[in-house]
């Protein structure tokens, strides 16, 4: 009988230990979730580093390429050189439906 109680006590202790490992403050589930968060953050960092590199290359090009500056000024800001004529065309009207 005494051996049976020891077996039950050992089993209960084992269950408690496993529960503490899995659910405790630094349990396996928490560690797994934190690893998942780290992976997401590492991907975000890689994307931001790539964007940073792209922007740095653009800055370098803008510092040394007056033609690029002019292109951007014309396309994005609508600038024209003195003496140039700007032709503006009306927007194409959307076709109307004949509703009867």
Structure tokens belonging to residue 41: 């953050």
The answer to whether residues 80 and 86 touch, using CB atoms and an 8 Å cutoff, is yes
Which residues, 6+ apart, have CB-to-CB distance to 79 below 8 Å?
A: 73
pLDDT tens digits, one per residue of 22-69:
666 677 777 888 899 999 999 999 999 999 999 999 999 999 999 999
Distances (CA, A) of 78 to 70, 72, 75, 81: 10, 9, 6, 10
Rounded average pLDDT over 7-33: 76
Domains in the chain: boundaries = 8-77
Q: Specify the pTM.
A: 0.51
């Amino acid at each position: 009988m005494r051996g049976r109680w020891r077996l039950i006590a050992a089993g209960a202790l084992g269950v408690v230990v496993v529960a503490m490992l899995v659910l405790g403050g630094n349990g396996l589930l928490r560690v797994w979730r934190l690893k998942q968060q780290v992976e997401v953050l590492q991907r975000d960092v890689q994307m931001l580093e790539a964007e940073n590199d792209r922007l740095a290359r653009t800055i370098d090009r803008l510092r040394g390429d007056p033609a690029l500056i002019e292109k951007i000024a014309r396309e994005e800001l609508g600038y024209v050189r003195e003496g140039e004529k700007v032709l503006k065309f009306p927007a194409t009207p959307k076709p109307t439906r004949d509703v009867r």
